Amino acid sequence: MITLDTGALRFNYRIVGVAVAGGRVLLHRAERDAFWSLPGGRAELGEPAEQTLRRELREELGVEIRVERLLWVVENFFSHAARDYHDWHSTS
């Protein structure tokens, strides 16, 4: 996983996807969290974004997916669980 900790700051590189079926978009939320997010996960070093998304959804949902294209890149700065985050997402 591409995560870098420096003191109290953590950098995450996450790949997420927009999964649409029947006019609905798939979101998920961990039981301990108060927020929802798109499905996906952290990339491994040297792993292309498309491969990361396929691997994560296969691991989490047991499904094979088709990645069509890159939609956007998002950069977030936030605090969670007593740690400051710099989070960078590419979304397909």
Give the model confidence (pLDDT) of 12-59 as tens digits. Answer: 999 999 999 899 999 999 999 999 999 999 999 999 999 999 999 999
pTM of the model: 0.79
Q: How far apart, in whole angstroms, are the C-alpha atoms of residue 53 and residue 65?
A: 9
**Residue 92 above 80 pLDDT?**
no
- Residue 85, burial from CB neighbour count under 10 angstroms (0-12, 13-18, 19+): middle
Which residues, listed in sequence order, are joined to residue 12 by a DSSP beta bridge? 3, 87
CATH-assigned architecture of domain 3-91: Alpha-Beta Complex (3.90)
**pLDDT over 90 at 89, yes or no:** no
